[in-house]
Amino acid sequence: MARIWLARFDPKLVEVFRRLFLGLAIKTVGYLIIAAGIFFSIKDKDIALFAVILGAFLVILGWMLIYRALKTVE
Identity of the amino acid at 43: K
Q: What is the pTM of this model?
A: 0.81
CA-CA distance, 4 to 47, in Å (whole number)? 44
Beta-strand runs (E) in the chain: none
CA-CA distance, 59 to 2, in Å (whole number)? 28
CA-CA distance, 46 to 57, in Å (whole number)? 17
Domain extent, residue 35, equals 2-71
pLDDT, tens only, 22-73: 999 999 999 999 999 999 988 889 999 999 999 999 999 999 999 998 898 7
Q: Evaluate if residue 8 carries a pLDDT over 90.
A: no
CA-CA distance, 16 to 13, in Å (whole number)? 5
The total domain count for the chain is 1
